[in-house]
Structure 1
Amino acid sequence: MSKKILLEKASIPGIKTYEVYRQNGGYASVEKALKSMTPDEVVEEVKASGLRGRGGAGFPTGLKWSFIDKKSGKPRHLVCNADESEPGTFKDRFLMEYIPHLLIEGMITSSYALEANLSYIYIRGEYMWVYKILERAIKEAYAAGWLGKNILGTGYNLDLYVHCGGGAYICGEETALIESLEGKRGNPRIKPPFPAVSGLWSNPTVVNNVESIAAVPWIVNNTGAEYAKIGIGRSTGTKLISASGHIKNPGVYEIELGLSVDEFMNSDEYLGGMIDERPLKAFVPGGSSVPVLPANLIYKTANGEDRLMTYESLSDGGFATGSMLGSGGFIVYNDTACIVRNTWNFSRFYHHESCGQCSPCREGTGWLEKVLHRIENGHGREEDIDLLWSIQSKIEGNTICPLGDAAAWPVAAAIRHFRDEFEYHVRFPEKIKNRDHFVNEPFEKVRHLVGKQTV
């Protein structure tokens, strides 16, 4: 059994209420930090833990905290990014819905570390029922003296608010989130300056993901050194994984980083293998924005080593043979899945969610969707495949924020690993139009008809 840090108490009846949470050790990290640690000491513990941002980028959390400007004299802010909108990812929702006080405890302890007196949880608009759960929990925390003036008699003050966004994927990017929080359109800002210097209302600001902040109480209570013992290498601690697709046991799992993909996929403790025992075709390990990997690269890296659930192992070899851990949106496909249709679906999403600020993303995502739609509906041309490759290459790296990259990477990986499937769509349009092409003709037969080719 993997060690549980975030979900250790998830099954306790009534854990979402303050009384039960407190009876089971809740808010101990706030007591320890405020009464026996300086803010800098809390930062150092988080740095020692090796905790990396769990929202997708994987940047060291403690290092990010150390960048905040403490010399300007301006107020500082902590903003929790609860705008969980990556397709295939739903682990932050689980934490907030079932253990809301864990996030609030993490916000208090983390705000103290940053010497912030006003902090926010920015939650996506579609999570309205979760918003109400957090609001109720925050009221309980105020009533019990964990928020407000002179917390625990230490002289530390903190006000915490939940702000509901408008349901825009782009607001998952930290500067777009800040713009939205200020009441403006959620367009990403050009960096520098970075939020640590000029963020919310031009004040020094740190933006962290729900899962990252929820890990802080355990780190403070047990020390960063103990947290660093969990996991492997620079991938320390545990990670929440949102698992979906053609698997027997979809859901949210907490794993120790370093677990093999094979064990996670096939053991009864986790996903339990493929549903209906159909062959594994591909998987996306970190949400819709990361490259898809074919079956031959799922369990083994390009050099033959076991593929592990870590930042390093999943990205081994770069995008030619690797992917990313990302936000942990683990999507599995069997041999009946159509990669072209799946890629088109992702491209529709990114075109719809582009803020339109950057020409390569605004125009490029639209063209990706249009060309993929043409291919998927049996009207594709041979040159369309190379056109897709050209379009995605002109988007990647040419936008203010990573949404352009997120739109380009899935298309590039799909063509790189499944070009023959795109060619099948172009060469056999009559088979495509009946919309059940890979149910009647599984992928291995498609490979035989077309012949394997890669970019």
Structure 2
Amino acid sequence: MGRKILLENINIPGIKDYEVYRKNGGYTAVEKALKSMTPDEITEQVKTSGMRGRGGAGFPMGMKWSFIDKKSGKPRHLVVNADESEPGTFKDRYLMEHIPHLLIEGAIISSFALEANLSYIYIRGEYMWVYNILEKAIKEAYANGWLGKNILGTGYNLDLHVHCGAGAYVCGEETALIESLEGKRGNPRMKPPFPAVSGLWAEPTVVNNVESISTVPWIINNSGEEYAKIGVGRSTGTKLISASGHIKNPGVYEIELGMTVDEFMNSDEYCGGMMDDRPLKALVPGGSSVPILPVHYIFKTANGEDRLMTYESLADGGFVTGSSLGSGGFIVYNDTACIVRNTWNFTRFYHHESCGQCSPCREGTGWMEKILYRIENGMGTMDDIDLLWDIQSQIDGNTICPLGDAAAWPVAAAIRHFREEFEYHVRFPQKIKNRDHFVSEPMEKVRHLLK
């Protein structure tokens, strides 16, 4: 059983209510932070912890906090990114739904560290029932003196609000989120300036994800040094993983970073192995935007080392033989999965969610969707496969925000690792057309048919 930080108290009956949360150690970190620490000391503890943002990019959180402009004299803000829209990822929802005061406690400490007096939780529009849970918890925090004026008699003031978005995936990008929070269309901004200098209302702002902010109380109560002892190398601490797909035990799990992929996938404590004991075919380890891994790169890196649940190990080999931990959306596919259909499904999503601001993303995602539709429905050509490769390469790295990259990487990895399956769709269209739901032939048979 691994160390639990975020989910340690998740199964206590009534933990979402203030009284139960408080009786189980809730808000003790706020007391410690506000009464015995300075904002800079809190930031140093987060730096020491090695905590990396859990929204997908994995940027060191303490370093991000240290970038905020404290010299301009402008008000500063914390914005909690609860716009969890990455397909395959649902761990932030789980936290907010079951233990909302943990996030609020983390937001209070983080706002104090940033010397912010007005902060926001920006939640995705589809999470209305979670929005109501957060609103109730915030009212409880105000009623018990944890928010508002002169918190704990320290002279520190903080107002915290929940803002509901309109359900746009692109608003998970921090500058698009800020635009939406200001009441505008959620289009990403050009950077620089970065939000730490000019964010919400052109004032210094830090945007951090729900899981990241929820970890702060533990760091304050136990120290950054203790947090850094958990995990491996620069992948310190624990990570929430949203596990789904063809596994026996889908759900949200908290793991110590450094566990092998094999253990996480096959142990009874976590995924429990493959559903119906069918063969494993592929894995998307970090949400739909990261490259898919074929079976021979899932448990071992290209160098033959054990693949670990860490930022570094999952990325080993770059996007040729590796992938990314991303947001922790761990999607498992067995031998019945059609990679072409899966890639088409992802591409439909990214085309729909593109804000349209950049022509490579606006036009490229649309063309990739059309071409993948043709191939999946038995109307494709061999040239279409090469055209797909060319289009994704022209999107990757050529857009204002990472949505373009997120759309390109799954297509590139699918063609790189499963080109034979694309060719099978082209060479044997009748086999594809005659099935309502394509069930792939064993890859050995596919290779034989393509000879």
Q: Does the pair score TM above 0.5?
A: yes
The answer for the alignment partner of 1:374 in structure 2 is 374
Where 1:439 maps in the other structure, the secondary structure is coil
The answer for the alignment partner of 1:129 in structure 2 is 129
Where 2:157 maps in the other structure, the secondary structure is strand
The answer for the alignment partner of 2:402 in structure 1 is 402
CA distance in 1, matches of 2:131, 2:439: 41
CA distance in 2, matches of 1:278, 1:368: 31
The answer for the alignment partner of 1:222 in structure 2 is 222
CA distance in 2, matches of 1:292, 1:361: 20
The answer for the alignment partner of 1:352 in structure 2 is 352
Instruction: Tell me by how many angstroms 1:396 deviates.
Output: 0.3
1:137-186 deviations in Å (ceiling 9; x for gaps):
00000000000000000000000000000000000000000000000000
Instruction: Tell me by how many angstroms 1:437 deviates.
Output: 7.1
CA distance in 2, matches of 1:266, 1:376: 31
1:432-451 deviations in Å (ceiling 9; x for gaps):
11236753733332233225
The answer for the alignment partner of 2:193 in structure 1 is 193
1:42-65 deviations in Å (ceiling 9; x for gaps):
000000000000000000000000
Equivalent AA in structure 2 for residue 81 of structure 1: N
The reply to whether residue 286 of structure 1 matches residue 298 of structure 2 is no
Identity value in percent: 85
Say whether the 8 Å CA contact 1:84–1:90 is kept in structure 2: yes
Q: How many residues align?
A: 451
The answer for the alignment partner of 2:26 in structure 1 is 26
CA distance in 2, matches of 1:67, 1:415: 39
Say whether the 8 Å CA contact 2:285–2:328 is kept in structure 1: yes
Instruction: Tell me by how many angstroms 1:297 deviates.
Output: 0.2
The answer for the alignment partner of 1:213 in structure 2 is 213
1:222-371 correspondence to structure 2 within 5 Å: 222-371=222-371
CA distance in 2, matches of 1:74, 1:283: 46
1:83-162 correspondence to structure 2 within 5 Å: 83-162=83-162
1:162-201 correspondence to structure 2 within 5 Å: 162-201=162-201
CA distance in 2, matches of 1:316, 1:8: 31
Distance 1:412 1:440, change over 3 A: closer
Instruction: Tell me by how many angstroms 1:94 deviates.
Output: 0.1
CA distance in 2, matches of 1:276, 1:443: 19
CA distance in 1, matches of 2:129, 2:230: 34
The answer for the alignment partner of 1:42 in structure 2 is 42
Equivalent AA in structure 1 for residue 59 of structure 2: F
Instruction: Tell me by how many angstroms 1:236 deviates.
Output: 0.2
1:288-333 deviations in Å (ceiling 9; x for gaps):
0000000000000000000000000000010000000000000000
Equivalent AA in structure 2 for residue 402 of structure 1: P
CA distance in 2, matches of 1:75, 1:276: 56
Where 2:240 maps in the other structure, the secondary structure is strand
- For the aligned residue pairs, the C-alpha RMSD in angstroms reads 0.8
Say whether the 8 Å CA contact 1:336–1:443 is kept in structure 2: no
CA distance in 1, matches of 2:378, 2:346: 18
CA distance in 2, matches of 1:219, 1:111: 15
Equivalent AA in structure 2 for residue 111 of structure 1: S
Where 1:253 maps in the other structure, the secondary structure is strand
Where 1:308 maps in the other structure, the secondary structure is coil
CA distance in 1, matches of 2:283, 2:291: 9
The answer for the alignment partner of 2:65 in structure 1 is 65
1:272-294 deviations in Å (ceiling 9; x for gaps):
10001110000000000000000
Where 1:81 maps in the other structure, the secondary structure is strand
Say whether the 8 Å CA contact 1:335–1:438 is kept in structure 2: no
The answer for the alignment partner of 1:203 in structure 2 is 203
Say whether the 8 Å CA contact 2:261–2:298 is kept in structure 1: yes
CA distance in 1, matches of 2:382, 2:17: 59
Query: Which moves more between the two structures, 441-450 or 271-280?
Result: 441-450
The answer for the alignment partner of 2:3 in structure 1 is 3
CA distance in 1, matches of 2:59, 2:434: 45
The answer for the alignment partner of 2:441 in structure 1 is 441
CA distance in 2, matches of 1:77, 1:128: 24
CA distance in 1, matches of 2:449, 2:299: 26
CA distance in 1, matches of 2:48, 2:39: 14
Say whether the 8 Å CA contact 1:29–1:217 is kept in structure 2: yes
Equivalent AA in structure 2 for residue 200 of structure 1: L
The answer for the alignment partner of 2:389 in structure 1 is 389
Say whether the 8 Å CA contact 2:338–2:440 is kept in structure 1: no
Equivalent AA in structure 1 for residue 427 of structure 2: R
Say whether the 8 Å CA contact 1:250–1:271 is kept in structure 2: yes
CA distance in 1, matches of 2:437, 2:446: 9
Equivalent AA in structure 2 for residue 369 of structure 1: E
Say whether the 8 Å CA contact 1:311–1:325 is kept in structure 2: yes
Say whether the 8 Å CA contact 2:335–2:440 is kept in structure 1: no
CA distance in 2, matches of 1:301, 1:48: 29
Structure 2 residue ranges without an equivalent (≥5): none
Where 2:439 maps in the other structure, the secondary structure is helix
CA distance in 1, matches of 2:68, 2:431: 57
Where 2:305 maps in the other structure, the secondary structure is coil
Say whether the 8 Å CA contact 2:52–2:212 is kept in structure 1: yes
Equivalent AA in structure 2 for residue 244 of structure 1: S
Say whether the 8 Å CA contact 1:247–1:271 is kept in structure 2: yes
Instruction: Tell me by how many angstroms 1:82 deviates.
Output: 0.1
Say whether the 8 Å CA contact 1:280–1:334 is kept in structure 2: yes
1:89-111 deviations in Å (ceiling 9; x for gaps):
00000000000000000000000
